[in-house]
């Protein structure tokens, strides 16, 4: 058990601090990776398991990935940041709006790559995910999680 705790400590100490942009970006890469696996898994399930149209399957995957991304972002990625929106419902709404803009961009790019460029759906999904990742991180960082938290007791 002590070994397990020690390895967690090594992982934590090897990551840049949460207060830095690099630390947040690396954590967002991990978060995005987890959200992508949920997204990709749901996409494949609905596309191949249920035979849904690729755009509807894509939307279902994106919604699942969005939920995972929000939760991990607030508790792990941007936890050292001052939250620009104090109302939780408004924050979730803005986070979701950014995500839905990403969904729109994602759907449009998927449509262009699959129907016009005639690329495979799964390959297109991977290409689009990388592009939309940058949009989501940048927009959420700038709009929702800009400043650093002020430590209690400091002036």
User: What percent of the chain has pLDDT above 70?
Assistant: 86
Domain parsing of the chain, residue ranges: 19-143
Where the chain has pLDDT below 70, the residues are 1-13, 149-155
Percent residues over pLDDT 90 in the chain:
40
The Cα–Cα gap between 26 and 151 comes to 23
Least Cα distance to 140 among 92, 106, 80 occurs for 92
Counting every residue, how long is the chain? 155
What is the Cα–Cα distance from 94 to 29, expressed in whole angstroms? 20
- Select from 32, 25, 16, 17 the least CA-distant residue to 141: 25
pLDDT at 153: 44
The dihedrals phi and psi of 80, each to the nearest 5 degrees, come to: -90, 0
Q: Is 144 exposed, middle or buried (0-12, 13-18, 19+ CB in 10 A)?
A: buried
Strand partners, 81: 148
Take residue 40 and report the two structure tokens written for it. 């990709």
Residue 1, pLDDT score: 39
């Amino acid at each position: 058990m002590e070994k397990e705790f020690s390895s967690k400590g090594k992982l934590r100490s090897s990551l840049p601090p949460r207060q830095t942009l690099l630390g947040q970006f690396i954590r967002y890469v991990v978060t995005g990776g987890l959200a992508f696996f949920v997204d990709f898994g749901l996409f494949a399930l609905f596309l191949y398991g249920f035979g849904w149209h690729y755009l509807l399957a894509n939307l279902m995957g994106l919604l699942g990935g969005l939920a995972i991304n929000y939760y991990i972002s607030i508790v792990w990625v941007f936890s050292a940041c001052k939250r620009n929106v104090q109302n939780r419902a408004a924050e979730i709404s803005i986070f979701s709006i950014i995500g839905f803009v990403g969904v729109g961009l994602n759907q449009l790019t998927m449509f262009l790559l699959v129907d016009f460029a005639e690329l495979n759906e799964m390959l297109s999904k991977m290409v689009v995910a990388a592009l939309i990742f940058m949009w989501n991180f940048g927009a959420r960082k700038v709009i929702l999680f800009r400043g650093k938290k002020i430590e209690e007791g400091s002036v």
